[in-house]
């Protein structure tokens, strides 16, 4: 009873419900990954590098029995299923707009062979946490309460026997069309299931209990750095949730972040247009700048040469590593939308191009939170002051000094008490003036709705 396991955002072997379902009743399983040229074209280089490393590690974990092929899934998956006479194609369910359309096309092409979805990349799959009347939540806090009440299963610690995996070299080369795992270049972050588990164990041992106190402090190693592993499914969040003690304030704060991940996935599931359009359509008429000057300012923002130390530190960390601390993400997003008055979509697209952990649901709705256009959003008139944010969340300037070379040796990297070094740029805008301009645009929008 052969089956086909189609890997997507679940690049691991342990605690993988789709794999467990595929090997039920001693089925032989062909494990495959389809390199979709559409996703290759839309993914940033760092994310492709991490993907390539993940596939190499997964192939090792499967004893060299991962078939990697390239093409459109609606063509390749039915061909492979027919080649091995598969009784079913097993997947982890995908809830993103592109994934849902792709899977519908694959199922139509499979005909009578079922596409069986078991499990998902979330603690609670989108669509399961709803109000009593069945409608989706629009605000996080009540979602969070119901989400905790719903609960989730404990991880399946047993590791399915990889001997069930079919050796892809036994297939017809013409049908299988195997390709070498592409070398997109090596990722800076160690990839794969073992690396994810090692990173998580290290964070639980040394950082979890202080997470609620340290998570916003930019100069400390107070965050878990698990976002890329979750993005690519090197670890399931329920594996992580099992280590979160109920008596720990740090663990409670971390669980809340996992809930936000599920919430944003649910928002995208229920409102797929929110991937690139304002979730709150009342903001569709907000005035944004898109002229030549706007593009010049955007280029300065991307390069981390705005003249605002904390903004520049965040943007340079992103350029150097493909990662940015979440507190810095909030600040640079607010700066782009409310100090530079640029469309949030510009920044969201740049983040997806640069971030290793670029995830559509988290990224787009995090940006909309900062822009004030999304669910549970910060009011548009809340404008972060970059200097105040810096002194609050990087009080000794450790983070700024690390990423802004021009300020590495200055006494006051916030540039409040002392002058500006000659090799560091002047501010590209006046924050006080642009804050008032943001308020004016908000008030103008508000008056239009009256």
Instruction: Quick: pLDDT tens for 39-73.
Output: 989 899 999 999 999 999 999 999 999 999 999 99
| Alpha-carbon Rg for the chain in angstroms | 23
Measured CA to CA, the distance from residue 250 to residue 246 in angstroms comes to 10
pTM summary value: 0.94
Angle at 368 between CA 363 and CA 122, to 5 degrees: 45
Q: Which fold has domain 281-448?
A: DNA Cyclobutane Dipyrimidine Photolyase, subunit A; domain 3 (1.10.579)
Q: Which of 301, 317, 302 is nearest to 405 (CA)?
A: 317
β-bridge mates for residue 115, sequence order? 89
Percentages of the chain per state (helix, strand, coil), in multiples of 5 = 50, 5, 40
User: Starting from the edge strand earliest in sequence, which strands make up the sheet with 89-91, in order?
Assistant: 66-70, 29-35, 3-7, 89-91, 115-117
Contact 259, 147 (CB under 8 A): yes
Contact 433, 439 (CB under 8 A): no
pLDDT tens, position by position, 88-122: 999 999 999 999 999 999 999 999 999 999 999 99
Domain boundaries, the chain: 1-119, 122-155+194-270, 281-448
pLDDT tens, position by position, 252-288: 999 999 999 999 999 999 999 999 999 999 899 999 9
- CA separation, residue 239 to residues 155, 156, 210, 371 (Å): 5, 8, 20, 33
pLDDT at position 290 is: 97
pLDDT at position 180 is: 83
Q: Which residues make up each annotated binding site for FAD?
A: 211, 254, 257-264, 357-359
β-bridge mates for residue 5, sequence order? 31, 90
Question: 1-119 maps to which CATH number?
Answer: 3.40.50.620
Q: How confident is the model at residue 450 (pLDDT cuts 50, 70, 90)?
A: very low
Fold agreement between 122-155+194-270 and 281-448: no
Q: Which residues make up each annotated binding site?
A: 211, 254, 257-264, 357-359
Measured CA to CA, the distance from residue 446 to residue 385 in angstroms comes to 23
In CATH terms, 122-155+194-270 corresponds, of 1.10.287.990, 3.40.50.2300, 1.10.3720.10, 1.25.40.80, to: 1.25.40.80
Q: Reduced to 3 states, what is the DSSP secondary structure of residue 434?
A: helix
The secondary element (H helix, E strand) that includes residue 345 is helix 344-354
């Amino acid at each position: 009873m052969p089956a086909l396991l189609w890997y997507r955002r679940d690049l691991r072997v342990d605690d993988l419900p789709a794999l467990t379902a595929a090997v039920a009743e001693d089925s032989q399983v062909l494990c495959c990954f389809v390199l979709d040229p559409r996703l290759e074209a839309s993914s940033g280089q760092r994310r492709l590098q991490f993907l390539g490393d993940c596939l190499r590690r997964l192939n090792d974990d499967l004893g060299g029995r991962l078939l990697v092929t390239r093409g459109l899934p609606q063509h390749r998956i039915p061909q492979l299923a027919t080649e091995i006479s598969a009784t079913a194609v097993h997947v982890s369910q995908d809830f993103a707009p592109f994934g849902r359309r792709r899977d519908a096309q694959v199922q139509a092409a499979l005909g009578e062979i079922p596409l069986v979805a078991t499990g998902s990349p979330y603690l609670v799959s989108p669509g399961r946490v709803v109000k009593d009347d069945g409608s989706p939540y629009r605000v996080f806090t009540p979602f969070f309460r119901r989400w905790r009440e719903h609960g989730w299963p404990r991880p399946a610690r047993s590791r399915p026997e990889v001997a069930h995996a079919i050796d892809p070299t036994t297939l017809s080369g013409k049908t299988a069309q195997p390709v070498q795992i592409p070398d997109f270049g090596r990722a800076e972050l160690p990839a794969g299931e073992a690396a994810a588990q090692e990173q998580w164990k290290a964070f639980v041992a040394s950082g979890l209990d202080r997470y609620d106190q340290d998570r916003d402090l930019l100069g400390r190693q107070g965050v878990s750095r698990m976002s890329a592993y979750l993005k690519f499914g090197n670890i399931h969040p329920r594996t992580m949730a099992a280590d979160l003690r109920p008596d720990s304030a740090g663990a409670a704060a971390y669980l809340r972040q996992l809930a936000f991940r599920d919430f944003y996935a649910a928002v995208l599931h229920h409102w797929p247009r929110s991937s690139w359009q304002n979730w709150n359509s009342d903001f569709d008429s907000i005035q944004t700048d898109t002229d030549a000057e706007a593009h010049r300012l955007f280029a300065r923002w991307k390069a981390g040469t705005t003249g605002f130390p904390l903004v520049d530190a965040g943007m340079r960390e992103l350029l150097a590593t493909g990662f940015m601390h979440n507190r810095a993400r909030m600040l640079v997003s607010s700066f782009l939308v409310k100090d530079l008055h640029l469309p949030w979509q510009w920044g969201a697209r740049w983040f997806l191009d640069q971030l290793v952990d670029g995830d559509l649901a988290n990224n787009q709705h995090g940006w909309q939170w900062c822009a004030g256009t999304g669910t549970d959003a910060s009011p548009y008139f809340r404008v972060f002051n970059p200097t105040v944010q810096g002194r609050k969340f990087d009080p000794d300037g450790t983070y700024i000094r690390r990423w802004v070379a021009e300020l590495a040796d200055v006494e006051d990297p916030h540039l409040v008490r002392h002058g500006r070094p000659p090799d560091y740029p002047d501010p590209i805008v006046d924050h006080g003036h642009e804050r008032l301009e943001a308020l004016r645009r908000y008030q103008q929008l508000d008056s239009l709705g009256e």
